[in-house]
Structure 1
Amino acid sequence: MDENGSVLGIRSFWAALPVEGRWLLSTVAIQTLGRGLTLPFTIIYLHEVRGFDLALSGTLMALIAVTGLVVTGPGGALIDRFGAKPVLLAGLTAMIAGCTLLAFATDPVTAGVALVLIGVNFGVSWPGFNALIASVVEGEVRQQYFGINFALVNLGIGVGGIVGGFFVDVHEPATFVAIFLVDAATSLIPMALLLGPLRHVRTHAEHEDDAGEASDKAPSTYLEILRQPAVLWITLLTFVAMFIGYGQMEAGFPAFARQVSGVSTQTIGFAFAVNTAVIVLVQFLVLKVITGKRRTRVMQVMALTWAVSWLVLGATGLVPDTVVAAIGVLAFMGVFAFGETMLQPTVPAVYNDLASDRARGRYNAINAAAFQGGAITGPVAAGLLLGHGLDAWFIAAMVAGCVAIAVLALALERRISPKVNGVTASEPEPATE
């Protein structure tokens, strides 16, 4: 917010950013272009191009999250000890190797190794980049930064999805090889940033005294952090949101759209483009509305929005292989995207407002672990349910998850302070427990 309490405009927001924040934000869309090329089509590649069973393909996809979950804890501790830069560089190196190997994988073992390497990057990139952002951007600008960063991430992914939808052909494996190699190449961009303009950014205390007396009293070990009720509730909420949300974007949604709705890969690519368009067009407007409002209430509205989106996707299964089904798939992604614009600015902001500087890497690692945990169970559940023809049960599970998010947000609201909940001083907030 500016000095008059109004939400920053785009120009004012940009002016308020330090140089390092501008570097990070200005390259986000290009960095994620490669990810957009492969995100919607990895499970299709494993199942339809390499010939793996759908359930096996879903399990292989889950290896990304399993590996990420394993390395996230140590990664967060290493970030707090040595800084985000060396940890992120190691993760990006693994990403390049994993995408390159997956491009030429013709058997499940090779594909599994490649996906494990990709998972290493996912496990450290979330806490690493969030710690980097929180170190560079402070105050009210931070929530806006998370929201705008998310919009730009989706811009890159959406453009990649459009290009990938037109480019890939399940009858031409070379087209899939090409997109995975491009994904590997785009990881060189953040590596260049970390070794160049961002090389002096510090995300950790070099000495114990640097953290300050107040930080010494704050929780710093994983056990101490997780003993806080607020952290437990926001972590459980994040897990459920990832299970029914992003855990399905690489597995459940594409598989349902192809196997049940009967739409083409081009339609799936366009669906991701719709997702991007909605986020890019409305994210800043949503930020204006939610700034100063209770983040937990915003999460509840998001849960309702997502429930509607999954019901729309389920309805497409009633009219498979039709134009109506294709429109429904596109509509699903549009409604789902609107919900995303409420989730991404709020959850990371809650974690980082709860965190002390001394343990910021570990707070963000817990956030990442919840993300990966939901992403582990999401693809596996989708593969098992859809692989056995339980299409209605799949949709029912997604809607039930949305209801759970709304309940968890209400519980979280009673356990965080007004400041952490994003409430301005002028708005009343019930006392926390």
Structure 2
Amino acid sequence: MTGMRGFWGALPTEGRWLLSTVAIQTLGRGLTLPFTIIYLHEVRGFDLGLSGALMSLIAVVGLIVTGPGGTLIDRFGARAVLLTGLTAMIAGCTLLAFATHPAVAAVALVLIGVNFGVSWPGFNALIAAVVDGDLRLQYFGVNFALVNLGIGVGGIIGGFYIDVDSPETFTAIFLIDAISCLVPVALLLGPLRHVRTQAEPSDDAPTTGGYREILRRPAVVWVTLLTFIAMFIGYGQMEAGFPAYARQVAEVSTRVIGLSFAVNTAVIVLLQFTVLKYITGRRRTRVMWVMALVWACSWLILGAAGLLPDSLAAAIGVLAFMGVFAFGETLLQPTVPAVYNDLASDHNRGRYNAINSAAFQGGAIAGPIAAGLLLDQGLSAVYIGIMVVGCIGIGLLAIALERRIPASANGVREPSAEREPAPEPERADD
């Protein structure tokens, strides 16, 4: 399969529906994601500390509901759970648009957190039900690029449109975020209404496979630990550690930081499909190892930027960090979801994706806390050192995972395919 045309042609109709609307779905989220705390603090007048605590409700609630959400996906199907989550998201965004009291904002953010907790495992289970094999890995990669495109474009539009002196502009973007959720709702009620993610009741395969049983599998434990560390040193730093280091240590302007996020989005959108062509058919654990090396280089670049504060070199270093980091993302995001879904069966796919989501959210919660403590104490060198050591840890975990993961879940398919036809001529001679 070569090029976007070949990939698109190989997709089933349901996969095309899903993929063609991703950027539209995430555009609304991009409008509000970077500006919610500004809205709470500068528009609604909540204290900054309270605003931060309210924002944390999204991640905390998401983490709490992820586990039950995975079980419900396996029992009732991703479609039903996603519709419930999207309904909560629509209600939450609408309520937040008019929230003038912290209690109202808290309820709204809890509802948004419910959707965040079930949407990751739900949509991943839905994708896995539609595509498989190398096509699944490619799909996760292209999907990730489109998500970034939607959020990036939404953030740019929101930055030009909103005005802290005009509260109605913030009301408008939250309502647009709510309206954008109607796109996946329409898909789930229309073209995707027949897609099943749960196993048929008549299947001979066992209906067991709870979280305790899943976590007894060594491959699951190792890939989950790898995911947590990747999120801790990766996405967990994007909203706190990286901006704080760039401002306080490298002493670059907020304009440079904003531009760095645009560089991140551009690199992902431009490189993701090219990267997919090179990693398809290769051992996924080796791809993770390369990703760890790339991320280690990115953190060393940021550390070097901190040695030349308030300079053009520091600004270039910050931008380069985000570009190199984004390249690592194009290696990570197609790989890890594909591993989880190839380890899973139709009976427990929701729970496997919930474990993936929990590891992601756990790292995203712990990362900013650690960054705040280290940088607040002036331990910037220690901070960079921990990030680099974490990257080395990912590489070691990938090596350990390779010894424990089934070949099929590691993207190794050709050898088994070549061996399967061999016995047939022997039986024919008997």
Q: TM-score, normalised to structure 1's length?
A: 0.87
Identity of aligned residues (%): 76
Is 1:124 matched with 2:118? Answer: yes
Match of 2:289 among 300, 306, 313: 300
Could you tell me how far 1:258 is from its partner in structure 2?
4.4
**C-alpha distance in structure 2 between counterparts of 1:323 and 1:172, whole Å:** 35
Deviates more, 1:375-384 or 1:127-136: 375-384
Distance in 2 of aligned mates of 1:179 and 1:261? 33
- Structure 2 residue 355 is the aligned partner of structure 1 residue 366: yes
What does residue 414 of structure 1 align with?
A: 403
Structure 2 counterpart SS, 1:39: helix
SS in 2 for 1:357: coil
Per-residue Cα deviation, 1:282-322 (whole angstroms, up to 9, x for no partner): 11111111112111111111112112222333344444555
What amino acid maps onto 1:357 in structure 2? Answer: D
Cα distance in structure 2, aligned partners of 1:97 and 1:115: 10
1:18 and 2:7 correspond: no
Residue 281 of structure 1 pairs with residue 270 of structure 2: yes
- 1:45-84 alignment to 2 at 5 Å? 59-84=53-78
AA aligned to 1:367 is N
CA 1:43–1:259: 2 relative to 1, 3 Å = farther
Unaligned runs of 5+ in 1: 1-6, 428-433
Q: What is the aligned counterpart of 1:181 among 172, 175, 184?
A: 175
Residue type at the aligned position of 2:180:
T
The answer to whether the Cα contact below 8 Å between 1:40 and 1:250 also exists between their aligned partners in 2 is no
Partners in 1 of 2:33 and 2:26 — Cα distance? 10
Match of 2:390 among 398, 401, 410: 401
- CA spacing shift, 1:256–1:60, aligned 2, 3 Å: farther
Describe the shift of the 1:144–1:235 C-alpha distance in structure 2 as closer, same or farther (beyond 3 A). Answer: same
* Aligned counterpart in structure 2 of residue 143 of structure 1, from 99, 121, 137: 137
For 1:130-188, what per-residue CA distance to the aligned partner results, in whole angstroms no more than 9, with x for missing partners? 11111111232111111111111111122123333444556666554443333233222
Q: Which runs of 5+ in 2 are unaligned?
A: 417-430
| Amino acid in structure 2 at the alignment position of 1:198 | L
Which letter does structure 2 place at the counterpart of 1:350? V
- How far apart are the structure 1 equivalents of 2:48 and 2:383? 15
Mean Cα displacement is larger for which, 398-407 or 55-64? Answer: 55-64
Task: Choose from 156, 164, 169 the match for 1:162.
Answer: 156
State the distance in 2 between where 1:26 and 1:99 align: 24
Deviations 1:201-234 (A, max 9, x none): 1111352x2xx33x32x86111111110100111
Aligned equivalents of 2:414, 2:311: Cα separation in 1: 52
Partner of 1:245: 234
Measure, in 1, the Cα distance between the counterparts of 2:41 and 2:387.
Answer: 23
Cα 1:64–1:414, aligned 2, differ >3 Å: closer, same or farther? same
> Does residue 30 of the first structure (1) align with residue 24 of the second (2)?
yes
SS in 2 for 1:32: helix
Question: Does structure 1 residue 93 correspond to structure 2 residue 87?
Answer: yes
How far apart are residue 237 of structure 1 and its match? 0.7
State the 1:99 CA deviation: 3.0
Match of 1:115 among 109, 116, 123: 109
> What is the Cα-based RMSD across aligned positions, in Å?
2.7
Name the CA shift for 1:71/1:423 in 2 (closer, same or farther; >3 Å): same
Change (3 A) 1:230 1:53: farther
Query: Is the contact between residue 165 and residue 270 of structure 1 (CA under 8 Å) also seen in structure 2?
Result: no
Partner of 1:140: helix, strand, or coil?
helix
Distance 1:178 1:287 in 2: 37
Query: Structure 1 residues 228-237 or 35-44, which shifts more?
Result: 35-44
1:198 and 2:187 aligned:
no
* Equivalent pair of 1:263/1:321 in contact (CA under 8 Å): yes
Q: 1:293 to 1:75 in 2, by over 3 A?
A: same
Tell me the secondary structure at the aligned position of residue 20 of structure 1: helix
Q: CA deviation at 1:344?
A: 0.9
In the alignment, residue 374 of structure 1 is paired with which amino acid? G
C-alpha contact (below 8 Å) 1:165/1:269 kept by paired residues = no
Answer yes or no: is 1:335 the counterpart of 2:324.
yes
Which amino acid in structure 1 is aligned with residue 194 of structure 2? H
- CA offset at residue 255 of structure 1? 3.9
Q: Which moved more, 1:415-424 or 1:363-372?
A: 415-424
TM-score by length of 2: 0.87
- How many Å separate the matches in 2 of 1:12 and 1:282? 17
Distance 2:379 2:141 in 1: 35
8 Å Cα contact 1:58/1:382 also seen in 2: no
Aligned residues: 416
Residues of 1 paired with 2:296 and 2:21: CA distance? 33
Alignment check: 8 A CA contact 2:163 2:169 kept: yes
Q: CA deviation at 1:352?
A: 0.6
- Are the structure 2 counterparts of residues 98 and 302 from structure 1 closer, same or farther at C-alpha, using a change threshold of 3 Å? same
Alpha-carbon distance, 1:386 to partner: 4.0
Counterpart amino acid of residue 119 in structure 2: S
